[in-house]
Amino acid sequence: MKYPSIIKAIVFLLIFCSAAKPANCQSAYAPDSLIILSMMQTQQFAMQRKDLSAVMKPFADDASLVNPAGYFYANKKEIEEYYNTMNHLDTITYNYSSGNVDLRMLDGNNALIYYPWEMDWYNIKQPGKILYKEFGLMSISAQKRNTMWQWVAVTNQHTPEFFEELSDHKGTATPKKESP
């Protein structure tokens, strides 16, 4: 017996939601969660391939980005110039990898996305010799605008090491010391 494609899609979403972390999938937002996770996978592969047009695709025209050094980029054009510079250095380049995505649907039009990343920088003429390792956490605010998800604010911060899961990198509260 053949099932209509809509039934197959519903079954897939139910399986996805039952297997996903609660923060990743609230049943009302499951279709949007899948769209955003697919966008993230596409963008992460684009970073590995240094495919600038694919990296830039999810950014809104009015998006902003703060890079790991704390520099602010106020719109998509400036963000593209930043990534273009990073991908066209004369003597060094990078290998990029990323950890698992933590997606938090705030409502049907807003989401927060977090994922750890790692970049191994090396000399173009000596690809086997890593010059330095860079680790960080990407924090993205995404909005659905006219039925399309877009990145509107991105903060990219350094971390002391690489980690696969955001939940494995939790901070602890430090009690305030009482003065004598």
Give residue-wise pLDDT tens across range 153-169: 999 999 998 888 888 88
What CATH number has the domain bearing residue 99? 3.10.450.50
Whether 173 is in a domain gets the answer no
The verdict on residue 179 lying in a domain is no
Per-residue pLDDT of the chain (180 residues), as tens digits, is 444 555 544 544 444 444 444 444 456 789 999 999 999 999 999 999 999 999 999 999 999 999 999 999 999 999 999 999 988 888 999 999 999 999 999 999 999 999 999 999 999 998 889 999 999 999 999 999 999 999 999 999 999 988 888 888 888 877 677 766
Residue 73 domain flag: yes
Q: Which domain, by its residues, includes 21?
A: 7-166
Q: pTM for this structure?
A: 0.79
Classify residue 2: in a domain, yes or no.
no
Query: 19 phi and psi, to 5 degrees?
Result: -90, -20
Q: Identify the burial level of 93 via C-beta atoms within 10 angstroms of its C-beta, where 0-12 means exposed, 13-18 middle and 19 or more buried.
A: middle
Q: Is 58 exposed, middle or buried (0-12, 13-18, 19+ CB in 10 A)?
A: buried
Confirm whether 175 is domain-assigned: no
Domain assignment of residue 1, yes or no: no
- How many domains, in total, are found in the chain? 1
